[in-house]
């Protein structure tokens, strides 16, 4: 069967604009990393060691199946569509994931896998769901999933991740590296709220929305570009050992990235 690519992303900038219940509202520029992706495909269960009736994911994952974003995406899609053909598909097939995007890295690997799985099912089963409908389902799995559903090269992402607006610019050549530091996103946000909370106003938000990624990075340092960098450094002091001049911090980490010279 066909292999589907689930691309990584970086946050060119990530600024907090306010809070909503237990969530933080953001303005962020997400950009696809074109040379870093997982690959997903359906394979027959008989080719695996799956038990009868088991939802089977084949791949290198540190978490239990029930915690996997693909598993959560399956149940969110099942709840939204009540599709018998979806159940039949996953009784016959396993989902195989060739992992290249590091986990707990701020690169969106889990969200991208979930989005790609939803789009695969929609295509293979002719479910007829629009991208907006898929994004609404994906949001139940994770705040970053809608960006990957739409498949934009670059987008302004706001709200808690559910508002995705394409930003028309050339895709940049991005180099990433990920230290062996496993970071908890909820923990970093908690530290931000407790010790660093300082949301930007609507004027700054609007300015960022209209600034190209290259110009945004030229005008900001790593901690200015990402409001989560300082909280992450405070909670995980070992990150300091990995920071290199000219690099920026993606999401809640632990990955760093820079734009390669041929993009500038």
Last residue of a domain, one of 104, 135, 166: 166
Using one digit for the tens of pLDDT, what is the confidence trace for 98-125? 999 998 899 999 999 999 999 999 999 9
What CATH number should be reported for the domain holding residue 217?
Answer: 3.30.70.890
Range of the structural domain that residue 18 is part of: 4-166
Last residue of a domain, one of 166, 186, 216: 166
Q: Are residues 145 and 59 in the same domain?
A: yes
Q: Give me the pLDDT at residue 119, please.
A: 98
Count CB-CB contacts under 10 A for residue 148: 28
- Chain centre distance of CA 242: 22
The position carrying tokens 């039949």 is 88
Separation of alpha carbons 237 and 241, rounded Å: 8
Q: Are residues 194 and 144 in the same domain?
A: no
Q: Please state whether the predicted TM-score (pTM) of the whole model is above 0.85.
A: yes
Catalytic annotation, residues: 9, 144
Q: Are residues 159 and 61 in the same domain?
A: yes
What value does the mean pLDDT of the chain take?
94
What CATH number should be reported for the domain holding residue 97?
Answer: 3.30.230.10
Q: Are residues 75 and 144 in the same domain?
A: yes
Separation of alpha carbons 132 and 149, rounded Å: 8
Q: Residue 136: pLDDT above 60? A: yes
pLDDT above 70: percentage of residues in the chain: 99
């Amino acid at each position: 069967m066909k292999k589907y690519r689930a691309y990584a992303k970086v946050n060119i900038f990530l600024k907090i604009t306010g809070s909503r219940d237990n969530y933080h509202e953001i303005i962020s520029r997400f950009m696809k990393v074109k040379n870093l992706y997982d690959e997903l495909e359906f394979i027959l269960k008989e080719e695996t060691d799956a038990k009868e009736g088991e939802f089977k994911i084949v791949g290198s994952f540190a978490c239990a199946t029930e915690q996997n974003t693909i598993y959560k995406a399956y149940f969110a899609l099942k709840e939204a569509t009540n599709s018998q053909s979806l159940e039949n598909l996953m009784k016959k097939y396993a989902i195989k994931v060739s992992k290249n995007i590091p986990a707990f890295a701020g690169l969106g690997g889990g969200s991208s896998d979930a989005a790609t799985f939803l789009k695969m099912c929609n295509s293979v089963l002719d479910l007829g769901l629009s991208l907006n409908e898929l994004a609404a389902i994906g949001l139940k799995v994770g705040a970053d999933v809608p960006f990957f559903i739409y498949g934009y090269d670059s987008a302004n992402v706001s709200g808690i991740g559910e508002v995705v607006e394409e930003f028309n610019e050339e895709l940049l050549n991005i180099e990433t590296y990920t230290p062996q530091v496993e970071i908890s996103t909820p923990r970093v946000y908690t530290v931000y709220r407790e010790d660093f909370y300082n949301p930007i106003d609507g004027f700054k938000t609007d300015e960022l929305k209209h600034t190209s990624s290259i110009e945004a990075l030229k005008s900001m340092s790593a901690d200015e570009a990402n409001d989560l960098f300082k909280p992450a450094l405070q909670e995980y002091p070992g990150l300091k050992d990995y920071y290199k001049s000219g690099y920026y911090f993606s999401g809640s980490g632990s990955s760093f990235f820079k734009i390669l010279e041929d993009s500038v």
